[in-house]
A and B are shown apart, each in its own frame.
Chain A
Amino acid sequence: MTSRTWLHDMNPSLKFIIVLVSMLTLAWFFNPWTPLLFFLGVILLQLLFSRVNWKVWSLFMIPIAFTAIGYLWTTLLFAADTSGHVIWTWGKFEVTNTQWNTALSLSFRVFAFSSMSLLFALTTDPVKFVMSLMQQLRLSPKLAYGVMVGYQFLPVVKDEFILIRHAHRLRGVGEEKHVWQRLLGMRRLLIPLLAGAVRRAERSAFAMEARGFTGERRSAYYEPISINARDWLLATIIMVLLIGSGVAGFLLH
């Protein structure tokens, strides 16, 4: 089915804006239905229009579930609005229906936000994202290519981190027991890592300038990224889902 690649092919800048708009809109809703419906809708969209690896998706979602539980009980304990009738008591502690709804809403919001984030993260190529930001959203080429250089160094940074850890262990630097000791101990890891980063930054900047990179905007790109009709269709579908779950939230609440 070809429609399963649609979200992967969608213009990254447009997808980015749609994700931000959905999140900023959802932030105004405090009923449990809107975020829940939106969450389910996003999953449906991913089933229809993407080839998301659901195993990876679940791995990302597990820590999110912890956060959602945290929000649930914090809001139950510390709700600002404690009106409504009591639906549950435990000793001196009472939960009203308003409290319960707000708490559920905030937890579902965590899920709705994460599903939207994962929709973006699991269907977007990072390099195309930056190139699209430069071509569609007028991000400065100096910054765009700067970010690309950094991104290419990611595996090097990881290797260097392991190397420094090994070097420390060889010289008998043990693991600290206390949390604050470990925080201070991060300096031993970070300083050589950052010093190496400074040197790499200088070398790459020099190499880029030696090859004629000026940071000026160009009129043509090696890999042009465009927005087409299907991108707008997908954006519209997500917006309809957003408005739909907003309205349904009001009606069901």
Chain B
Amino acid sequence: MLKSWKLKEVVLMSVFAVVFAVVYLLFVQVGNIWAGVIGPIAYEWIFGIWFIVSIICAYIIRKPGAALLSETMAAMIEVMIGNAVGPRLILTGLVQGLGAEAAFAATGYKRYDWWVLCLAGVGSAVFSFAYGFLVSGYAALDPSLLVLMFTLRVISGAVIAGLGGKYLSDGLLATGALRGYSISRDTGKNHKIKGEVIG
């Protein structure tokens, strides 16, 4: 799978993974404290944050595996930084990345419209919920609460990861930093890039 990857694309994923690993860990702290007050549901509405790197990398690099690898790398870096969620984060990252990857694979890695990105966010949400069902013991909870948690997570995945990821990547594209990546080649033809000043 990695044969067709340029080293600069792998390193790009890794450096993005570092930036988002820090963001992810900050949100784990926020989530943990809220979870004491309102229970596990505290994580649900911000869950999309944890899927965002896979959507951004897939949207920029546009190669099979970008979503899966970037999310896994972010998880690896979270483990390297050291935290109390620990090594199982790598498994979580793999599962979430697979969810997003499934959505991009379903479109044959050809379409990167906003709805595909939202679908990828939903994919991560569905996969991670199935995983959480096993590992976090959701099976012991009331089905009506589970439905609420699931709905919140899916919405969060679509909005925060899907739309949020697009919003961030488009902003980054406008800075001109992404010349030399697929996103510039593909969108340069049919979209006008807004020359906004950022930073």
- Residues of A that sit less than 8 Å from B by CB: 16, 19-20, 23-24, 27, 30, 60-61, 63-67, 69-71, 73-75, 77-81, 102, 105-106, 109, 113-114, 116-118, 120-122, 126, 129-130, 140, 142-143, 146-147, 149-151, 153-154, 157-158, 161, 164, 183, 186-188, 190-195, 197-202, 204-206, 208-209, 213, 215
Tell me the total A-B contact number using a CB cutoff of 8 A: 216
Residue from the list B14, B40, B85 in contact with A201, Cβ < 8 A = B14
Q: A121 near B82 (CB under 8 angstroms)?
A: yes
Chain A residues with Cβ below 8 Å from B79 are: 120-121, 126, 129
Q: B15 near A201 (CB under 8 angstroms)?
A: yes
Q: A187 near B171 (CB under 8 angstroms)?
A: yes
Q: A30 near B140 (CB under 8 angstroms)?
A: yes
Q: Size band of the B side of the interface?
A: 35 or more
Question: Is the C-beta of B152 less than 8 angstroms from some C-beta in chain A?
Answer: no
- Residues of B that sit less than 8 Å from A by CB: 2, 5-8, 10-19, 22-23, 29, 32-33, 35-42, 69, 73, 76-77, 79-88, 90-91, 134-137, 139-145, 160, 167-168, 171-172, 175, 177-178, 180, 198-199
Q: A78 near B142 (CB under 8 angstroms)?
A: yes
Chain A residues with Cβ below 8 Å from B73 are: 143, 146-147, 150
Cα separation A209 to B69 with both chains bound (whole Å)? 21
Q: B80 near A130 (CB under 8 angstroms)?
A: yes
Cα separation A200 to B167 with both chains bound (whole Å)? 22
Chain A residues with Cβ below 8 Å from B198 are: 188, 191-192
The 6 closest A-B pairs by CB, nearest first: A117-B86, A66-B36, A74-B39, A150-B14, A126-B80, A205-B8
Chain B residues with Cβ below 8 Å from A71 are: 35, 39-40
Cα separation A164 to B33 with both chains bound (whole Å)? 27
Tell me the minimal C-beta distance from B54 to chain A in angstroms: 15
